[in-house]
Amino acid sequence: MRKLVPLVADAMLVVLFCVIGRRSHDEAVLPGLLRTLWPFAIGLAAGWTIAVTVGRQIGKTGHERFDGVAPWPTGILVWLGTLGGGMLLRVVSGQGTAFSFVLVASAVLALFLLGWRAAIKALN
């Protein structure tokens, strides 16, 4: 159960990112939330899958075990998976990927997905 907390935190932050985005464009939040959310949710799942796979490979070498709270490699891989997967799926599904949106999404998702990890690391 405790190992799922970072995944749940990331999922909640991705939902928050989509809610804020819809709200900032004066779009109805609930009716279109799923359309906005699904590419980033799949990207998040991909990022977590990659992070867990990499973490297990590192663990096999005996150097360290997978840590869902670690900014590196977990946080970076989750962020890149969420951003890259989300943008790729938005392109494929015909949703917008203006350069300014990619920049804002990169920054906000970095703040959300890396920020809480960095704060925990700084406190420990």
What is the tens place of the pLDDT at every residue in 78-124? 999 999 999 999 999 999 899 999 999 999 999 999 999 999 999 98
In the chain, domain spans? 2-123
Which residue, among 80, 50, 82, 70, has the nearest Cα to 118 in the 3D structure? 70
**Confidence check: pLDDT of 59 > 70:** no
Q: Is the pTM of this model over 0.85?
A: yes
- Residue with the larger pLDDT of the pair 64 and 15: 15
Q: Is residue 37 over pLDDT 60?
A: yes
**Mean pLDDT of the 32-36 span:** 91
